[in-house]
Structure 1
Amino acid sequence: MKRISTLIAVATLALAGSSFAADRPVHLRGEVTAVGAGDFVVTDRKGTKTTIKLPEQAQVLDVSRSSQAAIQENSYLGIAAAPAPQGKVRAMGVMVFPEAARGLNEGHFPWDLGDRGTMTNATVAKVVKKASATELEMRFGGKAQQVVLDKDTVYGQFVPGKRELIVVGAKVLVIGASAADGATAANAVMVGRDGFLPPI
């Protein structure tokens, strides 16, 4: 697929300032409420409206629902999680990556979905099914992280998308940067299919 490596590298969401040394990184989740020739407006859950510039080089990802059934040993996942007892984390959102994503931006780092949230981009080493939840042992760079999947975990997957997906009513996660003058520009836009909000 055209430019798939670039798209996947963006979608692993390890952009915490590395691409925008002079700007403030932005992760904006919400609904598209207006679309212009080179920009669009996102309204977040609090009702705040933000105008997003959409440069020609910005990437668009088409995100659809997935399920726990898509996860097996050796799957490569991006997991947005909250702290859990015994050093584990509880998965709030899981993105199942295409095979071409394997190994890109691998690691465990802070994330802004929830209080003390983290992101884990890693390979499933073990799947342990229990009565109330499923636990994953995620491996990255010789390290391991235990992840709990429960009834509230949301699952997604993605393919490269087109700018035409950004329409009024679409649910999006915008990854970009806010400049000193207050303007926000997208580096990537994850667009949920059929009203689905990207789960990370």
Structure 2
Amino acid sequence: MHRKRLITGALTLTIATLAALQGAVAATERVKVRGTVESLDGDTLKVKSRDGKDVTVALEAGWSVGGIVQAAVSDIKPGDFVGIASQPTDSGINGAIEVVIFPAAMKGTGEGDRPWDSKPNSSMTNATVANAVTSVNGPTLTLTYKGGERKINIPTGTPVVTLTSATKADLKPGAGVFITGERADDSKVSAERVAVGLNGTVPPM
């Protein structure tokens, strides 16, 4: 029972992490840090960003960490709640850049369709899978959210991940991380939560 409570608590932190990462809006400037861990010293996390910059993340009191692990397109079922970053294509149907399959407890979190910054003209859609149609280019999902609907094709090779529990010990050098925080200056960010890839998973967000 104690182990069950620990796992449930950790998953709750993970849920809070992704809710903040994908849906938070604040008055101060919020930035996304994508990269790999260089070191963790107390509440100071040093990250090498994807563009080669050194970023110091000041982790706020009570900070939490959630895990990201690999999943598969075949894991996606009608009724699942997903977050998909996508771009427009010539076909008129957006093509997925990455897919996050949320735990059932996260259904409805950050629901909607909004601009995203992973690639030019990209958007993030947090929505429920209404149905899936398989084609030669991979499945095309119909996603429904309050006030709208979007069809997204998932090409072969698109990163697909899901969420799990993690600990501060998982923030090892070389581990991939995704962080949303508040900018202090060009090389410093403060944050409450960190999403870390486990077992070599690179957070695609």
TM-score with structure 2 setting the length: 0.88
Distance (Å, rounded) in 2 between the aligned partners of 1:153 and 1:135: 13
CA contact (8 A) 1:81 1:113 kept: no
In the alignment, is residue 8 of structure 1 matched against residue 15 of structure 2? yes
The DSSP-based 3-state class of the residue aligned with 2:62 is: coil
Q: Which residue of 49, 65, 71 corresponds with 1:66?
A: 71
Structure 1 residue identity aligned to 2:137: S
Task: Give 1:133's aligned residue.
Answer: 138
Task: Give 2:184's aligned residue.
Answer: 179
Unaligned runs of 5+ in 1: none
Q: 1:37 to 1:74 in 2, by over 3 A?
A: same
Distance (Å, rounded) in 1 between the aligned partners of 2:34 and 2:185: 21
Identity value in percent = 28
Q: 1:182 to 1:172 in 2, by over 3 A?
A: closer
Task: Give 1:52's aligned residue.
Answer: 57
Of 69-78 and 161-170, the range deviating more from structure 2: 161-170
Task: Give 1:158's aligned residue.
Answer: 163
Unaligned runs of 5+ in 2: 1-7
Distance (Å, rounded) in 1 between the aligned partners of 2:69 and 2:60: 24
The DSSP-based 3-state class of the residue aligned with 1:8 is: helix
Task: Give 1:192's aligned residue.
Answer: 197
CA contact (8 A) 1:92 1:152 kept: no
Return the offset for 1:180: 6.2
Aligned residues: 197
The DSSP-based 3-state class of the residue aligned with 1:28 is: strand
The CA RMSD measured in Å over matched residues stands at 1.9
Distance (Å, rounded) in 1 between the aligned partners of 2:51 and 2:91: 33
Structure 2 residue identity aligned to 1:81: S
